[in-house]
Structure 1
Amino acid sequence: MSLKLNIIIGSTRPGRAGPTIGKWVDEVAKEQGAFEVELVDLADFRLPLLDEAAHPRARQYQHEHTKKWSESVADADAYVFVTPEYDYFPPASLVNALQCLSAEWEHKVAAVVSYGGISGGLRSSQELRQLIGNLNMMAIPQSVPLVFYAKSINDDQVFAPAEQSVEGLKSVLSELQKWAAALQPMRAK
């Protein structure tokens, strides 16, 4: 059975860099070949703030947007969350998307690619990793902080970072593959 990786673009804000950076992560992951890869844009789901009456653990979703989001998340074995840093924190859209589900995340592995100014979004990444762990996922300690990311976006809106960032991402993807395979028996039905 092949392993599936969802690369989730966490910002839904107009003018965001997430799709550009997400496309780069997608290309590197596909080139590495350890996963079946899907680039998932959170903006496409248009998730309102926690609008399901039942607790997510019950999986009694009433709204089509939640059902589609649940299906997308449940289908993957591993995740890379692509997140900016907004006020030292991940965007509310990403926190909401994580919290509106429960069982779909369990016994899976996740990593964070963060972007920002001088910190490269590391504070956002740390907060996000804690939430990931609280959802019974394995948040690997390795991450990819993209410092002053805007300087690496060219005139064609292609993200072309330094080689160290590329190598860092490849290392993160290798760790994700190891953990996804190791956790596979826990996900067996």
Structure 2
Amino acid sequence: MTEHPLTLAVIIGSTRKGRFGPIVANWFAGQAGQRADLVVDVIDLAEAGLPDALGGFGDPPGPEVRALSPRLAAADAFVVVTPEYNHSFPASLKSAIDWHHAEWQAKPVGFVAYGGMAGGLRAVEHLRPVFAEVHAITVRETVSFHNAGALFDAEGLPIDPDPSNAAAKALLDQLTWWAHAVRDAKAVRPYAG
């Protein structure tokens, strides 16, 4: 293990009944967990139970938000595992982003998307400006599964692992470069957000 590993939060964005997200997220977390430079925290928004309605400005957050906030704050980088719903991302992800602000600032975000023919890529493109607004840095490398249900076996592993594993490695290499760069920069100079 490296001297100061990065903490990577892998966020399962779908909360829908019968969702495919945990299969994709568990595979990706397994890929990330093989790296000595990462400690992985899988955050399932279905378990977080965040409220749909935001409080007023200055209102204290509820217990669900307070429980999730330290895990997001502790992360040096994020990977959002998202499906595509109606050409965009699920409301549960928007809620998680909107309930937090400082937790996302000056941290890199990568995406693992899944869906039908578009492989969730339209959801990713909609998430990029949302994360930009909270001062997060989205990386270009993305893992995408087109017609995802047909690409995984009964054990939750890609049927053709080489392309998927190579895409995960490329994403993680880029994400960790940014995470180290930003963490090192913040150690010298606080982020002016």
Give, in angstroms, the shift of residue 166 of structure 1: 1.3
Secondary structure in structure 2 of the residue aligned to 1:54 = coil
Pairwise CA distance, 1:68: 1.0
Deviation of 1:160 (Å)? 1.4
1:160 partnered with 2:163: no
Q: Secondary structure of 2:139's partner?
A: strand
2:143 corresponds to: 144
1:145, distance to aligned residue in structure 2 (A): 1.0
Give 1:70 shift.
1.0
* Matched letter for residue 12 of structure 1: T
TM-score, structure 1 normalization: 0.92
**2:145/2:151 contact within 8 Å kept:** no
Query: Which stretches in structure 2 are left out of the alignment for 5+ residues?
Result: none
Give the 5 Å matches for 1:1-189. Answer: 1-54=4-57, 61-156=60-155, 158-162=156-160, 163-188=162-187
Structure 2 Cα separation of the partners of residues 50 and 75 of structure 1: 25
1:125 maps to amino acid: V
| Offset from partner CA, 1:133-185 (integer Å, 9 cap, x none) | 111011011111111110123234x1315321210111100111100000013
Is residue 11–residue 78 contact of structure 2 (8 Å, CA) maintained in 1? yes
Q: What TM-score comes out, normalization by structure 2 length?
A: 0.90
Counterpart contact for 1:7–1:81, Cα < 8 Å: yes
CA-based RMSD of the aligned residues comes to 1.5
- Tell me which stretches of 4 or more aligned residues in structure 1 moved more than 6 Å: none
Q: 1:33 deviation in Å?
A: 2.7
Distance 1:112 1:87, change over 3 A: same
- The verdict on how the C-alpha distance between 1:36 and 1:29 changes in structure 2, with shifts beyond 3 A counting, is same
Secondary structure at the aligned position of 1:185 is classed as helix
Contact (CA 8 Å) 1:50, 1:100: kept in 2 or not?
Answer: no
Distance 1:51 1:66, change over 3 A: same
- Structure 1 unmatched ranges of 5 or more: none
Contact 1:10 1:94 in 2 (8 A): yes
Structure 1 residue 73: Cα displacement: 0.6
Query: Which residue identity lines up with residue 95 of structure 1 in the other structure?
Result: K
Decide whether aligned partners of structure 1 residues 62 and 125 sit closer, same or farther in structure 2, where only a CA change above 3 A counts: closer
Identity %: 32
Displacement of 1:39 in angstroms is 1.0
